[in-house]
Amino acid sequence: MIVHAAAHAGVAPERLYAAAGFDAAVAADPDAHIQIEVETALWEEAARLTGDDAFGLHCAEQIRPGAFDVLDYAVRTAPTLRASLERLARYNRLLHDVAVFTLVDRGEVVRVEHSLGGARQSRHAAEFTLASLLVIGGQISGAPLRALAVDLHPPPPVRTVEHERLFGVRPRFGTEVNAVELERAALERPVPTADPALSAVVVRHAEALLRARPAPSPSTTERVRGLVLASLADGDASLAAIAARLRMSERSLQRRLADEDTTFDELLEDVRRDLAVRYLASPTMAIAEVAYLLGYSEPSAFHRAFKRWTGRTPAEARRRAA
């Protein structure tokens, strides 16, 4: 895809192969894998050779149905855009061993985060990935899909005109993760052209392919997040407790998380924030109970943390959700 987009802009494939150190024979093998460093080199060299500092964005705009094989059809046959994103998160491993999509519900906003497990990613690759969500979402729904906010981990380019045109907002650069925030209501509308029968066939095929692939080893970040989720209600989601359950020292755990561009405190706060939004959406759960389930000894500490995260008090957030 990168090679074809560069060729469309006038760069001969052989020239890009040589610049990126890419073996063209690999592209002819449907079962071949390439290293993330080679993929990054392809993005960087394609942008350099085309002279297009928004190469990733323009590459996303060229996407057509079928570009990503079974993954693409699984995404495009979903009944809603929300279901489409959920399928992307589940089946993306059919295309990429490292990349992970995570959906985070925040009231009326759905945040889609994308990461490479700590691996270095080209700015153009990051911009392509987030832009492709909007492009394909618009193609599926038949109406433009606009972002409420966009976060990009790489530093900003000199010009952001194309970013603002495609995303509808100016991205925040230099953030912890790559993410796009979308309106929940827009994602939950039925897709007018959805075909349930075709969707069922595609999903069965995708599930069969997924079962045939070796299970990925969870990253340290994923393991810590899971342990924090399980430990919060028990009252001991501390660094010492989590490190002990992983059978490593606190220093070793912190070092491994740093290698994946995060910290224990950041993970703990992310889990608490996401759970807080989910719990507060339930009118039967008292705010003091939410604070307890998140591991806070006093409701006042939860109130301060929640207002720092969202700019609103828990009570205000609950009224807004209602």
Q: How far apart are CA 321 and CA 232, in angstroms?
A: 24
Contact between 43 and 60 (Cβ < 8 Å): no
Q: Write the secondary structure of the chain as one string of H (helix), E (strand) and C (coil).
A: CHHHHHHHCCCCHHHHHHHHCCCHHHHCCCCCCCCHHHHHHHHHHHHHHHCCCCHHHHHHHCCCCCCCHHHHHHHHCCCEHHHHHHHHHHHHHHCCCCCEEEEEEECCEEEEEEECCCCCCCHHHHHHHHHHHHHHHHHHHCCCCCCCEEEECCCCCCCCHHHHHHHCCCCEECCCCEEEEEEHHHHHCECCCCCHHHHHHHHHHHHHHHHHCCCCCCCHHHHHHHHHHHHHHHCCCCHHHHHHHCCCCHHHHHHHHHHCCCCHHHHHHHHHHHHHHHHHCCCCCCHHHHHHHCCCCCHHHHHHHHHHHHCCCHHHHHHHHC
Q: How far apart are CA 322 and CA 312, in angstroms?
A: 15
Domains in the chain and their CATH numbers?
1-52 (no CATH), 56-212 (no CATH), 220-321 (1.10.10.60)
Tell me: the pLDDT tens digits for 128-170? Answer: 999 999 999 999 999 999 999 999 988 889 999 999 999 999 9
List, as own/partner pairs, every contact residues 68-74 make where C-beta atoms lie below 8 angstroms and the sequence separation is at least 24, other chains included. 68/95, 69/94, 69/95, 70/94, 70/202, 70/205, 70/206, 70/209, 71/95, 71/206, 73/202, 74/202, 74/203, 74/206
- What pLDDT, on a 0 to 100 scale, did the predictor assign at position 235? 65
Tell me: the pLDDT tens digits for 14-35? Answer: 999 999 999 888 877 777 788 8
Please report, for residues 154, 161, 220, 235, the alpha-carbon distance to residue 173 in angstroms, rounded to integers and kept in the order given.
6, 14, 25, 36
Task: Give, for all 322 residues of the chain, the pLDDT tens digit.
Answer: 999 999 999 999 999 999 999 988 887 777 778 888 889 999 999 999 999 999 999 999 999 998 888 999 999 999 999 999 999 999 999 988 888 899 998 889 999 999 886 667 899 999 999 999 999 999 999 999 999 999 998 888 999 999 999 999 999 999 888 999 999 999 999 998 889 999 999 999 999 999 988 776 677 888 898 888 888 866 689 999 999 888 889 998 998 898 888 899 999 999 999 888 888 887 888 999 989 889 888 899 999 999 999 898 999 888 876 6
This prediction has a pTM of 0.69
- What pLDDT, on a 0 to 100 scale, did the predictor assign at position 217? 67
- What pLDDT, on a 0 to 100 scale, did the predictor assign at position 233? 64
